[in-house]
Every structure is written in structure tokens, then in C-alpha cells.
Amino acid sequence: MSNLLNPDVSVIVPCYNGEDYISETIQSVLDQSYESLELIIVDDGSLDRTGDVVAQCSDARLRYFRTKNCGVSHARNFGIGMARGEFIAFLDADDLFMPENLSVKIGFLREHLDMDLVHAPEIIFDGNTGAHQRVSSGLGGTVLSELLLLDTTVIHSPSSVLVRRKLLAATGLFDERLSVSADWDMWVRMALVTPFGFLGSPYTKYRLHQNQMHSNIGQMEKDMSTSFDKLQTLGVWRNKKALRRSKAKLFLTLCLCYIKDDTRFLRSLHFLLRSLINTPSVLFVYLRKRF
């Protein structure tokens, strides 16, 4: 039996109105082949029966905290503050761990002392039917350049990530000002400190369902502006040319998001022009890959 006071790994699950999925998520953690764990559920002010569902679990490894509604970044940070493990794993309240997830990832980091983060592909499945739709991709090694060009294939979601706790001491916590870009912002800061380990097989399942929080393009625009300003002060970009290239990719991304809204054509055109002004080749690279 694992040491309840000194678990090797803390699994942090932020949850808001998760009564439909949280029981299955909890069970996927408690069913891990790696037993020296604690499961920290941070209820971000849920308005449904999330607390009642969690209370039905009597496993001593589960710790439940309820906070006022401050957003997912605050909930994750609260969980990190409560964590006792040497390793930290993140899991969204509607996703699932496969039984060997923690064992394989902890084993990897213990064998690769030069790395403080490991992740893997995820099985993306239909939350209604359970059918597997596809397996996500991912990248390992030195991935800062890809992240700064907003390559969404680097890490699929936080649920696939396990880190050494000491890494968070070096990078700082999730930026609570951010919602849409909070994960990307964190991965960039982590990539400044450590290469990323990447496993070839999936060990987590990512649920698709209609109640998922979808990105708000206006919020994304605001968040990314905040992130870019902050990261620029940290000297993330090696020169002005690299910064312009990143901005060009961001503006192109915003252009493509806004163009899907028939009422925001001028906003889309605005960002297309800004992308071209910063680095025209970013658009040409996108078109070549697309067509």
C-alpha cells in the first residue's frame, strides 16, 4: 500500500460542473497500476452535484477541495499548492487515464534525469458513443521554436503531461489572468527550462462532448496579447525577427478564426494584413502545407 502522507505523484483535477464525468475520471486514477499517488480534486465553485458525486468515493488517496469560481488556472494552482508528490500529473475532469499512465511516465522521468516533463499522444474519443476517433500527435526534445510558432501538435492537452514538481518552482504557476492560452503559456515557460520527453504510445483518453469549453476568439486575442507581452520581457525570442515571425503566425491564426464568422470579415482582414506586414512567408508556408 502506498504511503498516504508522502505519495510519489499528485494528480490534480480541476473541475467545474463535472457531475456527468467526474466519477469515471476518478476511477481511472484510482485504477492506476502505480499506487503511490494522491488524487486532488479542486472543485471550482460547481453549481451541480459534483461534490456529492466525489463524496461517494471512500478511497483515502482522494483529497477534495472546494473553492470559489476563479477559473481553471486558479484551480490548478490551488491543487499544486496542496500537492505532496515529487511528480505532478494534470487531468481534466472529463478525461481519463489508462491504467499504465503514471507508471510509464514516472519510469521515463526516472530514467531521463535531464528531462523534467514527459507527455504522450492521446486517444480522442466520442463522449456519447465511446468510439475512438483518432490519436493525437506530439513532439519531444527542444520544442521552444515550435511552441513560439503556435504549433498545436506539440502537446495535445494538459491531461497527457507529467512533470517533476521542481519544474514548477523554476517556471512559476499557471497565469491566472489567462484562460484560452494558459496551457500554451505554461508550456513555453517549461520549454525554456527543460527538453520535453515524448512517448510514442497513448496513455490517456481525451473526451469530446457538447458541454466542452470552446475557445472564445475574442478571449484568445486578449490572452495571447497578454502572454506575448509577458514572454517578451522574459527574453523568450532570440531576436526581433523571431518575434515578428511568431506574431505573424498569431495574427494568421486569428485571421483564420475570425473568417469563420460572417460578421467579422473586416477583423479577419485586419489580422491578415498584420500577419503579412510582420512576416509574409508565414502565410505562404501555411498555404503550401494546406494546398
In a domain, 216, yes or no: no
pLDDT confidence of 291, banded at 50, 70, 90?
confident
| Claim to verify: residue 197 and residue 249 sit in the same structural domain | no
| Claim to verify: residue 139 and residue 198 sit in the same structural domain | yes
Sheet-wide strand order for 196-198: 62-67, 37-44, 9-15, 87-90, 162-164, 117-119, 196-198
| Claim to verify: residue 274 and residue 171 sit in the same structural domain | no
In a domain, 224, yes or no: no
| Claim to verify: residue 14 and residue 81 sit in the same structural domain | yes
CB atoms within 10 A of CB 213: 11
Please say if the pLDDT value at position 210 is more than 70: no
Angle, CA of 149, 175 and 286, to the nearest 5°: 15
Q: Classify residue 178 as exposed, middle or buried by CB count within 10 Å of its CB (0-12, 13-18, 19+).
A: buried
Please say if the pLDDT value at position 1 is more than 70: no
Q: What is the dihedral of CA 137, 282, 190, 41, to 10 degrees?
A: -60
CATH of the domain at 56: 3.90.550.10
Domain count, the chain: 2
| Claim to verify: residue 184 and residue 41 sit in the same structural domain | yes
Last residue of a domain, one of 208, 227, 249: 208
- 284, amino acid identity: F
**Average pLDDT over the chain, rounded to an integer:** 95
Q: pLDDT tens, 26-61? A: 999 999 999 999 999 999 999 999 999 999 999 999
Domain that holds residue 66: 9-208
In a domain, 232, yes or no: no
Pairwise pLDDT comparison (248 vs 216), residue with the higher score: 248
In a domain, 228, yes or no: no
Q: pLDDT tens, 220-274? A: 999 999 999 999 999 999 999 999 999 999 999 999 999 988 788 999 999 999 9
| Claim to verify: residue 138 and residue 91 sit in the same structural domain | yes
Q: Are 194 and 165 in contact (CB under 8 A)?
A: no
| Claim to verify: residue 159 and residue 20 sit in the same structural domain | yes
In a domain, 4, yes or no: no
**What is the DSSP track for the chain?**
---SSS-SEEEEEEESS-TTTHHHHHHHHHT-S--SEEEEEEEES-SSSHHHHHHT---TTEEEEEE-S--HHHHHHHHHHH--SSEEEE--TT-EE-TTHHHHHHHHHHH-TT-SEEE--EEEEETTT--EEEE-----BS-HHHHHTT-TTS---GGG-EEEHHHHHHH----TT-STTHHHHHHHHHHTT-PEEE-SS--EEEEE-TTSPPPPHHHHHHHHHHHHHHHHHTT-SSSHHHHHHHHHHHHHHHHHHHTTSGGGHHHHHHHHHHHHHH-THHHHHHHHHH-
pTM value is 0.93
Phi, psi of 128 (to 5 degrees): -85, -45
In a domain, 221, yes or no: no
| Claim to verify: residue 122 and residue 204 sit in the same structural domain | yes
In a domain, 2, yes or no: no
In a domain, 24, yes or no: yes
| Claim to verify: residue 185 and residue 259 sit in the same structural domain | no
Beta strand pairing call for 87-90 and 9-15: parallel
| Claim to verify: residue 182 and residue 246 sit in the same structural domain | no
| Claim to verify: residue 122 and residue 260 sit in the same structural domain | no
Last residue of a domain, one of 190, 208, 226: 208
| Claim to verify: residue 188 and residue 245 sit in the same structural domain | no
